[in-house]
């Protein structure tokens, strides 16, 4: 059985993962409208992945005798001034998610819930990959600068970024 404190924290993480999915979805829609087909493809895939992260938490809470709470959808509040700004926000969001996962691990250890601690290690590893992916993409964007040809190539490369193992995408 999950403690009340841990169940509450895991349910909060469900909300964070759901919000992450919505953020990627909003970014995908923006990129698609702007003609960034590759970035849109990447973002749509990431949105799906974040939803899978949320579902994994829902199933875990329910399997442990708790009650997973499905949160309201929150409209993402994003700065769409440029794709660089978008990816910077993405990186900052992934850092936020990592801190949240680390706090969950801390609570699991405080509660001496080693099953949940073990379960959360997948998320810890996943967040290392998510942050590294966002950082790599930002580095590439900085290299491109204002070069339109570079942007075209970057967008084209983003179409296959997930399939190249760019972020270690793993589904549930």
**117 in a known ligand binding site:** no
Distance between CA atoms of 121 and 131, rounded to whole angstroms?
A: 16
**Is 126 annotated in some ligand binding site?**
no
**For position 46, what pLDDT does the model report?**
96
Is 92 labelled as part of a ligand binding site? no
Task: Kindly list the domain boundaries of the chain, sorted by start residue.
Answer: 4-71+80-158
- For 38, other C-beta atoms within 10 Å of its C-beta total 18
Spell out the alpha helix ranges (H) of 35-162: 37-63, 83-110, 114-144, 148-158
pLDDT digits (tens, 9 = 90+) for 84-141: 898 999 999 999 999 999 999 999 999 999 999 999 999 999 999 999 999 999 999 9
The answer to whether 53 is a known ligand-binding residue is yes
Token pair for 69: 């709470």
Measure the CA–CA gap between 88 and 86, rounded to whole angstroms: 5
Is the pTM higher than 0.85? The answer reads yes
Q: Which residues contact 60 (CB under 8 A, 6 or more apart)?
A: 10, 116, 119
What SS3 class is residue 146?
A: coil
CATH 1.20.1260.10 fits 4-71+80-158, yes or no: yes
Tokens read off for 111:
């509660």
Establish whether 52 is an annotated binding residue. Answer: no
Is the pLDDT confidence value at 169 over 80?
A: no
Contact 76, 28 (CB under 8 A): no
Which tens digits make up the pLDDT trace of 35-58? 999 999 999 999 999 999 999 999
Contact 76/26 with Cβ under 8 angstroms?
Answer: yes
């Amino acid at each position: 059985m999950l403690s009340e404190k841990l169940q509450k924290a895991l349910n909060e993480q469900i909300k964070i993962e759901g919000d992450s999915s919505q953020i990627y979805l909003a970014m995908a829609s923006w990129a698609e409208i702007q003609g960034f087909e590759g970035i849109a493809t990447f973002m749509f895939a990431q949105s799906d992945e974040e939803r899978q992260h949320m579902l994994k938490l829902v199933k875990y809470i329910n399997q442990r005798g708790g009650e997973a709470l499905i949160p309201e959808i929150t409209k993402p509040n994003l700065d769409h001034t440029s794709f660089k700004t978008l990816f910077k926000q993405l990186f900052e969001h992934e850092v936020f998610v990592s801190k949240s996962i680390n706090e969950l691990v801390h609570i699991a250890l405080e509660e001496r819930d080693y099953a949940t601690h073990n379960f959360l290690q997948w998320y810890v590893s996943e967040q290392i990959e998510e942050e590294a992916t966002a950082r790599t993409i930002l580095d590439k964007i900085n290299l491109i600068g204002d070069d339109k040809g570079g942007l075209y190539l970057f967008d084209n490369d983003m179409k296959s970024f997930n399939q190249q193992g760019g972020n270690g995408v793993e589904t549930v």
